[in-house]
């Protein structure tokens, strides 16, 4: 059973449910099962390889980019898409890229720091 993806608001406002669908970040609460049929879906659990965290997951750990952890999977999946489009994003680009994801603990400073660190790897 996969438990990393969280249901937050059910209205696409918070981003906690973000997954990768065919290589693009999508808010899963807004995707019908029929739309996902035949698609490649990657959740946060799919990033770990051979027991090692993905560099983005490791950067979140190393830079304290997670607090309660509720928003973390969605933030990481959104950041995956952001880094795919902008391999070396500026702080402003990171903040803009995360606009659809909410952190209720207000850990944005370390989340941005973690994404910048991952971009450096």
Per-residue tokens: 20:
């990768």
Residue 22, number of CB atoms within 10 A of its CB = 11
* CA 85 to each of CA 7, 25, 41: distance values in angstroms, whole numbers, following the listed order: 26, 11, 19
Cα-to-chain-centroid distance, residue 28: 12
Q: Residue 2: its pLDDT value, please?
A: 72
Domain boundaries, the chain: 18-120
- How would residue 4 be classed by pLDDT, with cut points 50, 70 and 90? confident
Give the end-to-end CA distance of the chain in Å, rounded to a whole number.
Answer: 31
Average pLDDT, whole number, for the chain?
A: 93
Task: Give the whole-angstrom CA distance, residue 108 versus residue 34.
Answer: 34
CATH for the 18-120 domain, from 1.10.150.120, 3.30.565.10, 1.10.1660.10, 1.10.287.3510: 1.10.150.120
* CA 56 to each of CA 31, 33, 34, 60, 94: distance values in angstroms, whole numbers, following the listed order: 25, 28, 30, 6, 13
pLDDT beyond 80 at 109: yes
Q: Which of 61-65, 66-70, 76-80 has the lowest mean pLDDT?
A: 66-70
Task: Give the whole-angstrom CA distance, residue 20 versus residue 84.
Answer: 12
């Amino acid at each position: 059973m996969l438990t990393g993806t969280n249901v937050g608001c059910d209205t696409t406002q918070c981003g906690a449910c973000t997954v990768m669908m065919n290589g693009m970040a999508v808010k899963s609460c807004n995707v019908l099962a029929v739309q996902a049929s035949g698609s490649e879906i990657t959740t946060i659990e799919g990033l770990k390889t051979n027991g090692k965290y993905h560099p983005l997951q490791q950067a979140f750990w190393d830079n304290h980019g997670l607090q309660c952890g509720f928003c973390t999977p969605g933030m990481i999946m959104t950041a995956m898409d952001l880094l795919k489009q902008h391999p070396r994003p500026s702080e402003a680009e990171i903040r803009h890229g995360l606009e659809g994801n909410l952190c209720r603990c207000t850990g944005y400073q370390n989340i941005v720091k973690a994404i910048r660190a991952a971009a450096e790897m």
